[in-house]
């Protein structure tokens, strides 16, 4: 009990505590509990709650392909990643960053979250990527930082971006998403998140919002053979979900390489949603509607959640705890799940 209370007071204000523990803590002076749904984004690196940006579908577009970049405005995708990294040949890096900078203005009204994936800290190319894209009249609101292996790389990134951003850009803050792509990165994930969160609070330049699993680099790093059922990646996927959710971050699942196998893609997307991922990377527009559906609650589920919350509120007024709804016993964990469903439905406009 003392450990849970200490965690709540000093670290995890939005931690979901067991029903019994919550009832005990509610009787302790100066202890106020909150039931923040996963979708009402709150993390260690963000002192002020900000509007939840759904990233069910995360589509990569090569930064040097202006034709493909202009097409994204017509797609029903949550997040578009304009790529300076693996999707661009080494001799086209300069072209990619300059093309992205010139296209950001035309994408300003796009409903998708327009993200720029820069090159890794260790590549020697990241600083030039940052300088060019942040000189744009419409700088990116979200950055994706790949191949993060150690907390020191987050510190180096923060120092570089602090020198590059204008005072106005510093005040506006951008969203940061990191990528885990190696065994070392996976083992250091907790420390990376803690370092990024600490720097987000102290420097106030960005908010840490999510973690993406770079599965192909990870497989190469550990010597695994990539399969469609992804059994070789089960441990890594579970650890990424656990670390991300512990700090209220989004967790974005692996790429499905065989983009023509839509049945296999759907199966993996639905599996990822059941595991706890909040979204999935896509490499072809044909994958977008499948992944959006997999990571969205159905209208029937939204209706169930809405009615359950209404029933819960009525029972709370009468001073009752657990209650029966739709023939099942309901307690706080199920109510929290219902609130998460309603929050996600509101974020993606499901009614």
CA within 13 Å, CB half, 273 = 21
* Closest C-alpha among 94, 92, 66 to residue 82: 66
Neighbours of 156 (CB within 10 A): 15
In DSSP terms, 177 is beta-bridged to 144, 210
Q: Cα separation of 13 and 88, whole Å?
A: 41
Cβ–Cβ under 8 Å, residues 189 and 213: no
In DSSP terms, 326 is beta-bridged to none
Cβ–Cβ under 8 Å, residues 252 and 279: yes
Cβ–Cβ under 8 Å, residues 190 and 148: no
**Residue 253 known to be catalytic:** no
Neighbours of 5 (CB within 10 A): 15
Backbone angles phi, psi at 211, to 5 degrees: -130, 130
* Closest C-alpha among 309, 317, 253 to residue 281: 253
CA angle 213, 217, 219 (to 5 degrees): 90
Name the token pair of 334.
């199920």
Q: Is 221 helix (H, G, I), strand (E, B) or coil?
A: helix
Q: Which residues are CB-contacts of 2 (< 8 A; sequence separation ≥ 6)?
A: none
Backbone angles phi, psi at 138, to 5 degrees: -125, 75
Name the token pair of 335.
């109510």
What is the set of active-site residues? 331
């Amino acid at each position: 009990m003392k450990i849970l209370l200490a965690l709540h007071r000093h670290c995890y204000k939005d931690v979901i505590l067991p029903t019994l523990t919550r009832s005990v803590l509610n009787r302790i002076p100066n202890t106020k509990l909150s039931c923040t749904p996963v979708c009402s984004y709150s993390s260690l690196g963000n002192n002020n709650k900000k509007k939840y940006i759904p990233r069910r579908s995360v589509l990569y577009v090569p930064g040097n392909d202006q034709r493909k970049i202009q097409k994204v405005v017509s797609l029903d995708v949550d997040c578009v990643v304009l790529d300076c990294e693996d999707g661009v040949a080494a001799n086209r890096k300069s072209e990619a960053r300059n093309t992205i900078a010139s296209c950001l203005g035309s994408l300003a009204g796009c409903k998708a979250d327009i993200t720029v994936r820069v090159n890794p800290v260790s590549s020697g190319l990241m600083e030039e990527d940052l300088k060019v894209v942040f000189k744009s009249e419409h700088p990116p609101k979200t950055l994706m930082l790949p191949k993060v292996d150690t907390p020191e790389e987050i510190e180096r990134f923060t120092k570089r971006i602090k020198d590059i951003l204008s005072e106005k850009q510093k005040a506006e803050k951008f969203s940061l998403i990191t990528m885990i792509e190696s065994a070392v990165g996976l083992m250091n994930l907790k420390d990376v998140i803690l370092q990024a969160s600490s720097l987000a609070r102290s420097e106030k330049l960005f908010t840490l919002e999510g973690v993406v699993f770079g599965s192909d680099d990870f497989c190469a790093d550990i010597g695994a053979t990539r399969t469609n059922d992804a059994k070789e990646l089960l441990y890594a996927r579970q650890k990424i979900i656990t670390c991300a959710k512990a700090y209220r971050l989004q967790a974005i699942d692996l790429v499905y390489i065989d983009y023509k196998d839509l049945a296999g893609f759907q199966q993996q997307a639905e599996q990822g949603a059941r595991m706890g991922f909040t979204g999935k990377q896509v490499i072809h527009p044909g994958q977008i509607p499948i992944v959006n559906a997999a990571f969205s609650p159905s209208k029937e589920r939204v209706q169930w959640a809405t009615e359950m919350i209404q029933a819960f509120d009525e029972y709370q007024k009468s001073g009752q705890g657990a209650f029966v709804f739709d023939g099942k016993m309901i307690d706080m964990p199920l109510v929290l799940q219902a609130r998460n469903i309603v929050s996600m439905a509101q974020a993606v406009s499901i009614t």
